[in-house]
Amino acid sequence: MKKIRYALFALGAILAATLGGCACTASDADVASHNLSKDADQFKVLRRIVFFNGITDKYLLEITGYCSLGNDDPVNELTVTCKDENGLYKKDFLGLSDNVSYLVEQIQPTDVSTTHYTVIFKPEAIVPNFDR
């Protein structure tokens, strides 16, 4: 009974947080941008990421694929996680400096909603594992 109570409490907290974050005043561009970022973090957006030297104008590195950029990276660092055609993942750690920068290009257009936020629930994050 305790397990069910914990699971229901967790689900209720997630639903309250989701419903409380209403985007009623967000513009279509804001909603589309949010949903594109969510899709990219789910490896659904084909991207090209180019690192270049701002002084010499030379390309240093190019990464192309279904990639997600690190969201909580330290200053002057960037992580890029990509999913390959076999469903396997690769993560690169990159350092930035005053003369090294990067550009992220979305290669193909993606159909996302401009009227609804995308919310992705992962069951393992919602229902706790009580078998430990």
Q: What is the pLDDT along the chain (132 residues), one digit of tens a residue?
A: 555 655 556 556 565 555 555 545 778 888 889 889 999 999 999 999 999 999 998 999 999 999 999 988 999 999 999 999 999 999 999 999 999 999 999 998 888 878 776 677 767 666 666 665
> What is the predicted pLDDT for the residue at 6?
56
Query: Which residues sit opposite 48 in a β-bridge?
Result: 64, 105
How many CB atoms neighbour CB 62 within 10 A?
A: 12
> What is the predicted pLDDT for the residue at 45?
94
How many CB atoms neighbour CB 65 within 10 A?
A: 18
> What is the predicted pLDDT for the residue at 128?
67
Both structure tokens of 113: 């909603």
Query: Which residues sit opposite 100 in a β-bridge?
Result: 53, 97
> What is the predicted pLDDT for the residue at 89?
96
